[in-house]
Structure 1
Amino acid sequence: MDRDNRDLNKKLNQYFPGRVVRKDLTQKIKEGANVPIYVLEYLLGMYCATDDEDSINEGVNRVKAILAENYVRPDEAEKIKSKIRELGQYTVIDKLTVRLNEKRDVYEAEFSNLGLKGVEVEANYVKEFEKLLAGGIWCILKIQYYYDEELRNANPFIINSLKPIQIPNLDMDEILSGRKYFTKDEWIDILLRSVGMEPTQLEEKVKWHLLARMIPLVENNYNLCELGPRGTGKSHIYKEISPNSILISGGQTTVANLFYNMNTRKIGLVGLWDVVAFDEVAGITFKDKDGIQIMKDYMASGSFARGKELKNASASMVFVGNINQSVDVLLKTSHLFEPFPEAMAYDSAFFDRMHYYIPGWEIPKYRPEFFTNEYGFITDYIAEFFREMRKRSYGDSIDKYFRLGNNLNQRDVIAVRKTVSGLIKLIYPHGEFNKEDIEEILRYALVGRRRVKEQLKKIGGMEFYDVHFSYIDNETFEEEFVSVPEQGGDKLIPEGMGKPGHIYTVAHGDSGMIGVYKIETEVVSGTGKFERTGLGTSREARENLNTAFNYFKANKKNISGAISLNNNDFLMHVQDLQGIGMTSQLTLAAFIALCSGALKKPVLSQLVVLGSMSIGGTINKVEELASTLQVCFDAGAKKVLLPMASAADINTVPPELFSKFQISFYQSPEDAVYKALGVE
């Protein structure tokens, strides 16, 4: 163990005595017992919260003995039931779920591993620990056995005492005053070790992503999404680390279970847990038709309507899932929310409620060295600290030093403030931070929300065009912009002159999305043949190119007498650069490409040709002009050739977007050729 780690362990034991545990002990015992980490560390905290080696070994043996004797393994359930009967009373550790049997007017418990059902539970336990009714909780129970001949139908197992495995109280002053003795980096390392990770093995950006996973635990009504490769521990923290979060595996649920049961008049999971996490988003389904709509309402406002009642709850929503292809491919062919089920995949209103998108592809797959052997807080202790922090807010912390740029709408501002608030609660719970600290957090918050906005722009078009997020320094008035790494600087339309016969157009593909297409034309010696490739099975695109070639043959003299048809062959290849499906609006661009190739003169650099033409040369205007220009801008276009017929639609384009281009209007196909080649 290096000296820095030794010093940090010593400091941690000094300022938080009895509240920390060596995390390798958890791993050692975890291998033998399939219980959540917070259950193990509850026991380790009772017997091993020290740095004295002998006491630790003694404590570990004690915990192992308790687990061996009292933890119920499913395959040993009958043996334990027999022990309860023979001894009259026995202590067990198991997960308990309770439901009301209205026919008998009693609460009945079901034991997860012991397999017992219908065991009566006193109402006072249910009132005190409501989570018994929603998803169940791990408990230490004393169970008695009493069989009465006269009451043959009565369950002979009786719960004598029930104690949830949770720290009962927490002294917040202890944490807030203890935090002052640690630097920012030390505290981040302690937080990561507390959830089992070894920060010295992780890159800085990975540490921040792991911290972001904790924000829903400290921030009310926080909506988080993380999609990435398998094996990066996306759901680990919500399943194993906190007794205050519940993981819905498989994703299938009902409105009654999640929000409110109209029959029993009981609030669902969102009212009883701090975090409701959906594992594997691809499987999210509601048995109720209005499920997604209610979820959208809840994610936007923290409230939902059922019947005549409006209910409020504070649970954060987390969506984790797998991206099975590379991010580059996904960005070209679809968007980063693509793994969501079809009912949501193109619902921009649903995704607009996401406060942050953690890029799971930036987190490495877990390897043994990523798990820590050093000291961290007992999981239960940190879970209670997180829960207590939900009562506070630091959303306005940025206002002293910065204000947000004008591209952020109200939802963006709320999202950024919530992320900032959450990270301050985690890193600076004592409220002591400076301008540089806030700027670091603010930049991180802006990037994650911009990642959401970039995808919304792909799904919803012009409604979400303003993605250029920035913040302004209150003192210097300097504006700083943040970018999203995966958007990259590699534009589809590169700078510099292209080859003759090469041209870009932007149009609707057969998927309905707007995409970028490149036409490449080679003119070689031949006998006037025309060959087309890259069109796939699109009959319309094939007809488009034939129309363009026929118009070219009939009107080439109007362009230039130097164009020779009979001595050349024309080879044309069309590329669907974003993989959204072939377009049927290629005629005009293909005509310009043929002229450019025949004259051996390239079109202007970074030019996109918009519009299409009929067989007789009639020009059609551009549909959805604003969205089309946004795609041009994102692809790297600087110049746009626009049909005169589209001039009337310019008022639909935001002025900031329109001003990004040099725009030329054309009235006829021949006019378009001259302007594309820069011939006035």
Structure 2
Amino acid sequence: MEENNLIEKLQMNFPGKFVRKDLTKKIKEGANVPIYVLEYLLGMYCTSTDEEDIESGVKSVKTILAENYVRPDEAEKIKSKIREKGSYTVIDRITVKLNVKEDRYEAEFSNLALRGVQIDSGYPLKYERLLGGGIWCIVQMEYFYDEGDKKKSPFIIKKLTPVQMPKIDIEEFKKARSNFTDDEWIDLILRSTGMEPSNFNEREKWLHLARLIPLVENNYNLCELGPRGTGKSHIYKEISPNSILVSGGQTTVANLFYNMGTRQVGLVGLWDCVAFDEVAGIKFKDQDGVQIMKDYMASGSFARGKEEKNATASMVFVGNINQSVDVMLKTSSLFEPFPDAMGQDTAFLDRMHSYIPGWEIPKYRPEFFTDDYGFITDYYSEIMRELRKVSYGDAYDKYFKLGRQLNQRDVIGVKKTISGLVKIIYPNGVFEKENIEKILRFALEMRRRVKEQLKRIGGMEFYDINFSYIDNESFIEEYVPVPEQGGGTLIPEGIGKPGHLYTVARGKSDMIGTFKLETQVTAGSGKFERTGLGSNSEAKESVDLAFKYLKANSKSISGSISTTNYDYLVNIQDMTGIGMTSTLTLATLIAICSAALNKPVISSAAVLGDLSIGGTIIKVEELANTLQVCKDAGAKKVLLPMSSAVDIGTVPSDLIGGFNLIFYNTAEDAVYKALGVE
């Protein structure tokens, strides 16, 4: 009954602008063309709900595709038809280039494998995207072989029609939105993209909607990383003729932004959305490529030569993660799949307005694709293009204001996400307070995910990650978490085994990370071995120094410790993959004493500080950043040298409040307090 009601609403409000999606699936299997091309044809022949009309329309579309769509393996056959018949219509992807030597525009056919076909200059001027990446077209071809000019292609473009809807009425679309409930509308939009909403929960529906934001919002920077087979690139390749998917990774500044030789704007000036498939492979041939991309992502403009150019294309970065999110959060960051030039550049990552958690979207199964009615994708693509002209970034102002921990970039990212979702769900701008609150919470979460990872990579510069919003009426402040924030920690709760200890220090890569020490004691003759250090000579010296100090000072720690009747083995693990640290002397000393005395270290503790060759305690450098890593690792107690007390003022109060700080003065004092000995 509900389904019939929805079909009636579609017939009443959007006559001729919707199609049954199972028809697309049936025809798609036999023709390797984007969905928007198929539905352009289906929109011409199959917008009825009458079964006979649909069947007749499908036959017409199949006939057109069979006779006119150019399959690469049948290219020669089609060329022959054009020659023998003198005139023939083809469906192919057309790219146009300017031949400066001949001073004329020439078309290249993707599947027909034709180059140098002269085309009237009116077409590339009217449809600029022919010049960048190419677009699917229905082309009426003719054939004339000129004996006097044998170099000239005998193929002639008589008429070219891009696969795109004629002029649409955006006001009519907005007005019709009020006749649908929120749930009906969201389901209709998802079905328009080919997905079946009844197989997704509410959260998964919203994550799918978020993928559409770059198509409705100008200069929107989106990242989505997740497992394979979750449809990350589907939207940008199949659904909209206004977006282009850059595959293969390697690109150039000329291709993406501006070609100084031809004085032509690149992809960002020709498309609404430029999506990069497989972020791990992104590589610029130009050294300044990433820097220009950063400038563009921040301002929507880029400088080439003496000129500054503006563009509105959104940037989308999609890629695969090959391990669980918990492991990534323990050992690196959620931006790990990016190449180093981007994944370690906090200025680049800070320009991301949103990070969709792709791991929350289930792997696609056949039943996830709808057989129900939805908008013709080409129609909805043009609607999305029109919606780029308006902004709803201030939609929340009437009811809420943002918390103090959001900086200017955070505010911009949140506003853009809000604007995009309002355009998708409430294109008429009509919504209630609870509607916009839901969108606001979602937008804050998507941006906070970016900020959380920046904090991991960049430290205290990105400390303010407790995003919140305040109700204008009640003045109640609500904080918005990210779901994966409560994932597993490196330092577990509870008492560990004797000889097991965690320390936080700077590794070989100059990043601060967590290291675990495990110690074994066996009867022997006082041998000492260490493993896990690889070829790091400084780390080896640091660990050896601990055993030498113990041999010289064991009696002052405990008469029960023998360095002659037992053998000791210490294994050190780099738990965050940042390269082994050389700040290990004090931690190793405590670990050996813990094993020798068969007494475990106090629960959930991290040991900070170190011991010099002369027995002096070395204070902690960058205390705030180090304590932040301790917190992220799950430490509840922190052993800290008294000499670091002077730096407590540099640490935010709420970070300090998250620990039980235990100060020590000497190496012996550190051993006692780490083992809980008064």
TM-score interval w.r.t. the shorter chain? over 0.9
Q: CA 1:104–1:634 in 2, change beyond 3 Å: closer, same or farther?
A: same
Q: Structure 1 residues 28, 489: CA separation in 2 closer, same or farther (over 3 Å shift)?
A: closer
Alignment of 1:521-600 (within 5 A): 521=519, 530=528, 532-535=530-533, 538-563=536-561, 570=568, 572-600=570-598
**Equivalent residue in structure 2 for 1:437, among 429, 435, 438:** 435
Aligned length: 678
Give the counterpart letter for 1:637 in structure 2.
A
Q: Which moved more, 1:491-500 or 1:111-120?
A: 491-500
Aligned-partner Cα distance in 2 for 1:261–1:536: 48
Q: How big is the shift at 1:448?
A: 1.7
TM-score, with length taken from structure 1: 0.95
Are 2:353 and 2:414, in contact at CA under 8 Å, matched by a contact in 1? yes
Distance 1:609 1:52, change over 3 A: same
Amino acid at match of 2:437: E
CA distance change for structure 1 residues 562 and 81 in 2, over 3 Å: closer, same or farther?
A: closer
How far residue 523 of structure 1 moved from its aligned partner, in angstroms, is: 5.5
* Greater CA drift, 153-162 or 172-181: 153-162
Q: Deviations over 1:134-160 (max 9, x none)?
A: 111111121222233333333322222
2:20 to 22, 29, 39: 22
Residues 82-108 of structure 1, C-alpha deviation per residue, up to 9 Å, x if partnerless?
222222222221111111111111111
Structure 1 gap segments, 5+ residues each: none
Partner of 1:289: 287
CA distance in structure 2 between the partners assigned to 1:566 and 1:78 by the alignment: 87
Q: Distance in 1 between matches of 2:594 and 2:32?
A: 70
1:532 to partner: Cα distance: 4.3
Change (3 A) 1:342 1:495: closer
CA distance in 2: counterparts of 1:59 and 1:388, whole angstroms: 29
Once the two structures are overlaid, the 10-residue window that deviates more, 601-610 or 406-415, is: 601-610
Which of 407, 411, 417 is the aligned partner of 2:405? 407
Q: Separation in 1 of the partners of 2:298 and 2:654?
A: 29
For residues 81 and 528 of structure 1, the distance between their equivalents in structure 2, rounded to whole angstroms, comes to 86
TM-superposed CA distance for 1:165, in Å, is: 0.9
The alpha carbon displacement at 1:271 in A equals 0.9
TM-fit CA distance, 1:566: 5.5
- Deviation of the 1:530 alpha carbon: 4.5
Tell me if structure 2 keeps the 8 A contact 1:332–1:579. no
Deviation at 1:11, TM superposition (A): 2.4
Whole-Å Cα distance in 2 between the matches of residues 609 and 148 of structure 1?
85
1:565–1:147 Cα change, 3 Å:
closer
Q: CA offset at residue 214 of structure 1? A: 0.5
Q: Which residue of 2 aligns with 1:33?
A: 31
Corresponding residue for 2:240?
242
- Measured in 2, the distance between the counterparts of 1:141 and 1:329 equals 52
Of the candidates 89, 108, 111, which is equivalent to residue 109 of structure 2? 111
Match of 1:188 in 2: 186
How far did 1:597 drift?
4.2
Q: How much has 1:658 moved relative to structure 2? A: 3.3
**Mean Cα deviation higher: 522-531 or 613-622:** 522-531
Q: Are residue 164 (structure 1) and residue 162 (structure 2) matched? A: yes
Equivalent in 151, 161, 182 of residue 153 of structure 1? 151
Match of 2:58 in 1: 60
Aligned partner of 2:620: which letter? V
2:330–2:489: 8 Å Cα contact kept in structure 1?
A: no
Q: How does 1:151-550 map to 2 (within 5 A)?
A: 151-521=149-519, 530=528, 532-535=530-533, 538-550=536-548
- Amino acid in structure 1 at the alignment position of 2:89: T
Query: When the two structures are superposed, what TM-score results if normalisation uses the length of structure 2?
Result: 0.95
Range that drifts further, 480-489 or 245-254: 480-489
TM-fit CA distance, 1:534: 4.6
CA shift in 2, pair 1:498/1:69, >3 Å: closer
- Would the aligned equivalents of 2:468 and 2:480 in 1 still touch at CA under 8 Å? yes
Kept in 1: contact 2:214–2:273 (CA 8 A): yes
| C-alpha separation in 1, matches of 2:496 and 2:83 | 86
Tell me which amino acid in the other structure corresponds to 1:550. Answer: K
In structure 2, do the counterparts of structure 1 residues 651 and 61 end up closer, same or farther at CA, with 3 Å as the change threshold? same
Go from structure 1 to structure 2 and tell me whether the alpha carbon gap of 1:460 and 1:192 turns closer, same or farther (over 3 Å shift).
same
Please give the alpha-carbon distance, in whole angstroms, between the structure 2 residues aligned to 1:561 and 1:147: 104
Q: What SS class does the counterpart of residue 657 from structure 1 fall into? A: helix
How far residue 483 of structure 1 moved from its aligned partner, in angstroms, is 2.2
Q: 1:636 pairs with 634, 637, 640, which one? A: 634
| Alpha carbons 1:142, 1:161 under 8 Å: kept | yes
Q: CA deviation at 1:540?
A: 4.0
Separation (CA, whole Å) in 2 of partners of 1:385 and 1:288: 36
Match among 606, 609, 612 for residue 614 of structure 1: 612
Q: Which amino acid aligns with 2:83?
A: R
C-alpha spacing 1:591/1:136, structure 2 compared with 1 (3 Å): same
- Give, in whole Å, the separation in 1 of the partners of 2:659 and 2:327: 28
Distance 2:371 2:147 in 1: 55
1:51 corresponds to which residue? 49
Aligned Cα root-mean-square deviation (Å): 2.2
Greater mean deviation of Cα atoms: 276-285 or 595-604: 595-604
Q: Given the superposition, is the C-alpha separation of residues 528 and 36 from structure 1 closer, same or farther in structure 2, using an over 3 Å criterion?
A: same
Pairing 1:621-660 to 2, within 5 Å after superposition? 621-660=619-658
How big is each residue's C-alpha offset from its partner over 1:471-508, in whole Å with a ceiling of 9 and x where there is no partner? 22222222222222223243333344445444321112
**Matched residues in 2 for 1:581 and 1:96: separation?**
50
